[in-house]
Amino acid sequence: MHLMTEPIIASILGRPDLLKDARPRISRSDLEATQESLGFELPDLLRTLYLEVGNGGFGPHFKGFMGGINGHEDELGANIVSRYHLCRSSPERHPWPERLLTFFNWGCACTCSLDCSHADGPVIFHDPGYDVRHYAEDDFRRQRDPVVEDPVPEMRIEARNLKSWLQVWLDGTAKMGYGKRRWRPATKPVTSAPERVDDRQFKLKL
């Protein structure tokens, strides 16, 4: 375990009032299966939370911290593995950045995700109501066009890292969607838009 995670883990374990509904700690085999299914290792702090605190079922609001395999599932019956694969299952309509892992569900489709492309990446808030997208098939006037607006959902930085996000929860000041600064992935998601029927060139506005 990375040394920087120890104080925050100790602080969480020292608050049993916040852990009444926490799931049992994840087993090593379930952790390995979780990471294998995701295709990448979880960041140190997230991995330690599952190993030492619980396999989800805690956190602010409705205790929406999602677990790994055999852990807490959100209101839609998803854990971090199934939600990640769902998010990346339809790149044409819903491009989702690689290694952006949804770990918390606020309800009403609003979520927090951890940028796992960095060892200590930011926590990202996503409200699908803020998406700035336009699909050709949704507009009869542009039926032959590919996506014509920004296909990347608008996302905002909720905290500079998971440790900061957890500290806000422990302080009792966590609330949904308090981040204002927009976030963009380092690498844009790959999308596959349908081809136009004529020879005009079209570029996605990313």
Per-residue pLDDT tens over the stretch 126-143: 877 655 444 445 555 545
- The Cα 181–Cα 205 span in angstroms is 20
Task: Read off the pLDDT of each residue in 1-8 and give the average, rounded to a whole number.
Answer: 60
Q: Give the chain's domain count.
A: 1
Res 199 pLDDT > 80: no
Query: How much is the pLDDT for 4?
Result: 46
The mean pLDDT of 92-105, rounded to a whole number, is 88
Question: Of the ranges 54-58, 102-106, 165-169, 191-195, which one carries the lowest mean pLDDT score?
Answer: 191-195
145 vs 95, residue with greater confidence: 95
Find out whether 50 and 67 touch, Cβ atoms under 8 Å.
yes
Domain holding 79: CATH number? Answer: 3.40.1580.10
pTM higher than the cut 0.85:
no
- Does the pLDDT value for residue 149 go beyond 80? no
Classify residue 143: in a domain, yes or no.
Answer: yes
Query: pLDDT tier at 196 (50, 70, 90 boundaries)?
Result: very low
Write out the residue range of the structural domain in which residue 55 sits. 3-183
Is 112 inside a domain boundary? yes
